Structures are given as structure tokens and as C-alpha cells.
Amino acid sequence: MDVVVWSRIQFAVTAAYHWLFVPLTLGLALVMAIMETLYVVKKDEFWKKTAQFWIKLFAINFAVGIATGIILEFEFGTNWSNYSWFVGDMFGAPLAIEGILAFFMEATFFAVMFFGWDKVSKKFHLASTWLTGIGATISAYWILVANGWMQNPVGTTFNPDTVRSEMASAAAFWEVVTNPVAVSKFCHSVTSGWVTGGIFVVGVSAWYLLKGRQKTFAVRSMLIGGIVGLVGSALVMLSGDSSGVHAAEFQPMKLAAAEGLEDGGKGVAFTIVPGVKVPHVLSFLATHDWNGYVPGINDILNGYTDNKGNVVPSVADKMQMGRKAIDALAQYRELRLTNPEAAAEARAVLEENVQYMGYGHLEKVEDVIPPVGIVFWAFRFMIGLGMLVALVLLLATWFSWKEKIEPKRWLLWAAIVCIPLTYIAGQCGWIVAEVGRQPWTIQGLLPVNVAISSLSAGAVKTTFFIFLAVFALFLAIEIRILIGAIRKGPEVEPEKL
């Protein structure tokens, strides 16, 4: 278990660190593309210099993000080799497509965008800027297809001959690609990136206004960043709604943990903070029915009947069926070459219970309960900070549009403070998504204690602290370079300041 814990910590730190760069990449890509579009349409050099400034910051962030993403993918093989074996045929496909198609596209057009000023036509350069952002967005989609499958494993079947979860047909591939959990996670993640990019632009522009520098540049940048952030905030709410519905359907324990809901029922209230509840709201968010049934932790442990009338077995029953599947798998593999008839009987038992095979590896019923306190408060910080950032974006957009933002020093400071708060909200969202589905690497199929590699705890600890030191160094370097570029400012003609 020490190896499991340290491997989880290492992967969590790597993923959290990588996510510091992804949302800003997605958000700044849209902002700088809009600015360059204004340059091409209006033929105004001001917008060219403005776009070049934000592209420079994008490039700094993009470079460090690549390194962390590569490390993250390698950890699947080094720390989670049993997982990689079990899902290799399925999990490798979207990651390969992401690397071959999306990342190559993103990297190629990034080179044109960054180095191609005055070397290619304006329209081709503009297309490269847009395609860089589109490539980053497509890249995010394929990664989230893989992650969404871990949350809701559709389109694959377990092959007892290879002991792997495999896609058997093209139709199964498209079922994986269009997995509703993956689609909602993609929309939620990308639009949250727009919020991050928007508030980053607004906050940096606010700093210029507080310093009395580049005022025209700052106000116009703030307006575009604010609009992008506001659109992102609205879409985050919509995609968050679908994520809640999918959690209720496919991961009810995650939803129960996020609400700290011990006993469910119909017309369940939403808890704002302990002791403050809004009647019926959780039922509506989970089922789009004010009186819809939402199971609590105890209901899931003991078994319940869902809104569609399906009887969901208790965890103890799932564990029993899971152990039947594990035993049947062992019998099948032992007898398949020597006693085909007995092997066929064992395979029939396996196929009857295979959907609960992961439960057979659990030691006790309570293992299916994630850390409720962490998930509960992360969910509330995500929502609360997201609403605060949306309010600041709304005010900043309004006053910059009216060109009355400069005297509002309290709002300028609030915009700067909201930059780290947005990152905290994003990290909390991933805590809800990933900690909330524990103990599973693959929902219902593979718990973390089975997915691990055969490593010593000492080896994982050593690499963890090495990675932590390298990550801290990279982050410090990136922040220093970003601050240096921001202090230098955009190369805008004095009369345009």
C-alpha cells in the first residue's frame, strides 16, 4: 500500500502541475487569435503588436507545459504498468491520435505563428494562429477521451485470453470517442481554460493600469480578455450541469461524496455549506427533476433502485460477484487448452459477473468511499471561486467597455488577485473529478491497488522528490520569465500608449 500511496501522490502532483499550463494555453490561444484577427481586418499595427505580446506569453507557457505532459504520459508505464497492460489497446489509441494528429498540428503551426511574422502572408499567419489554438483544443479532446473512459468505461469488452479491455470494432471506437462523460469533461475543461486565459489577460492589463503604463493597450486587452472569460464562465456553468448529471448516472458515489450526502432520497437539498441547504436543488442538478431520487453513501453501500427502476446491488453483492469473476477467469485460463468444455463454463460465469470484477479486488465495503471531506470542500471552493472570478470578469468587461476602468483601483487589484484564485478553482475541479472516483483507476473495473507497477516504495519516493524539485525549478523559471516579459511590456508605438 505504501507503493500505491506514493505512486498516487506522484501522479497527482505531476497532473496538478501540468494543469497549471494547459488552461492558460487554451485561453490565451483564443485571446491572441481574436487580437490578430482584428489586426488583419482593421489593418491596424496596434493590434499586431498587441497580439505579438500575448503570443510571447503564450509561447513561454506552452514550452513548459510540453515537458510536464511528456512526464505525465511516461508515468502510466513506469508507475501504473498493470493499468497500462489492462487498457493498452484502448487507452493508447486516443493518446496516439493526440500525439500524431493534434500535437504535431499544434507544434507545426506554433512555429509558423511565432517565427513567421513578415515571412508569410497576413492571412496565412492568422490561419496559423487559429490552427495553433485549434490544435491545442483537439489535443485536449483526445486526452479527455482517455480520461472520460476511465470514468465511464464504454465501448470495450474484457478479453480473458489477453486479460485486457479491448475495442472490438469501429463502432466501439466511436462509442469511446463520443462517450458523454468525455464530451462534457472536454467542454468543461476547455471553457474553464477560456476563463483562465481571460482573467490572466484582465489581471495583467490591470497591472499596467495600476502602474499608469500602456493604458490603451491595457484597456483594449482587458475588454477582449473579459469577453472571452465571461463567455467561458457561462459555458462552464452549462457544461458543469451536464457533468453533474453524468456523475449521478455513472458515478453516484462521487456525487454523494461531493455533497457529503450520507442518506439520499427524493427532492434532496443542495448543501451550500454545512447547515445551509437549498431544498430540492441537488435532485434537480442530478436528475433535472425537482423530486428526482439521489442515492447517498449508505444507499450505495446497501443497494438501491435508481430513477429508471433499475435495482443496483449492494457493494457487498458486487464484491461477491467480482470474486466469482476473478475465480472464473483463473479457471478459464487454466483449462482453456486442456478442457475446452469446462473452460467454456468458466467463461460463461466470467461474462455474467465481469462488470463487477474490480469489486472483487476490494478488501472491505467501505473501500468504495472516497475521501469525503476533500471532495466536499474542493467542490465548494471550485464553485465559490468560479462565481467570484465571473463577477470580477463581468465588472472589468463593463468598465473597460465604458473606458471607466482606470479609476476603479479596487477592481484592478481584484483582477490581479483572481489570477491565482482561478488556478485554485481549476485544481479543485480536478480534485473532485479524480479524488472523487477513488478507489478506481477505471470505474468499477480496476482499483488503484491492482493497477500499480511492481516497484519499491523507495524508488517511487526518490523519483517523486526529484520530480518535485524539477517542477518547482521549472515553475520558478517560467514565472520569472513571464514577469520579465510583462514588465518589459508590448512594443507599441508611444502615441498608442
Q: What does the block give as the cell for 289? A: 427533476
47-73 pLDDT, tens digit per residue, is 999 999 999 999 998 888 777 777 887
Whether 179 shows a pLDDT value over 80: the answer reads yes
- Do the Cβ atoms of 50 and 217 come closer than 8 Å? yes
What is the rounded CA–CA span in Å between residue 395 and residue 408?
Answer: 10
Separation CA 383–CA 133 (nearest Å):
27
Map grid coordinates 455513472 to a residue.
250
CA-wise closest residue to 442 among 98, 83, 1:
83
Sorting pLDDT into bands at 50, 70 and 90, what band is 497? very low
Residue 195's pLDDT is 98
pLDDT at 496: 45
DSSP string, 390-420: HHHHHHHHHHHHTT--TT-HHHHHHHHHHHH
pLDDT band at 1 (very low <50, low <70, confident <90, very high): low
Write down the pLDDT at residue 491: 77
Q: Under DSSP, is residue 364 helix (H, G, I), strand (E, B) or coil?
A: coil
* Model confidence pLDDT, tens digit, residues 408-457: 999 999 999 999 999 999 999 999 999 999 999 999 999 999 998 888 88
Sequence-separated (6 or more) residues with CB below 8 Å from residue 15: 72, 430, 434
Helices (H) and strands (E) in the chain, counts: 18, 10
Give residue 91's pLDDT: 79
In whole angstroms, give the CA distance from residue 46 to residue 323: 68
Q: Taking residues 390-414, what's their average pLDDT?
A: 96
Lowest pLDDT segment from 73-82, 269-278, 429-438: 73-82
Residues 6+ apart with CB under 8 A from 315: 300, 301, 359, 362, 365, 368
* Domain residue ranges of the chain, discontinuous segments joined by +: 2-255+432-496
By percentage, how much of the chain surpasses pLDDT 90?
Answer: 74
Q: What is the distance between the alpha carbons of residues 255 and 416, in angstroms, rounded to a whole number?
A: 33
**pLDDT value, residue 492:** 66
Closest CA relative to residue 105, chosen from 140, 79, 138: 138
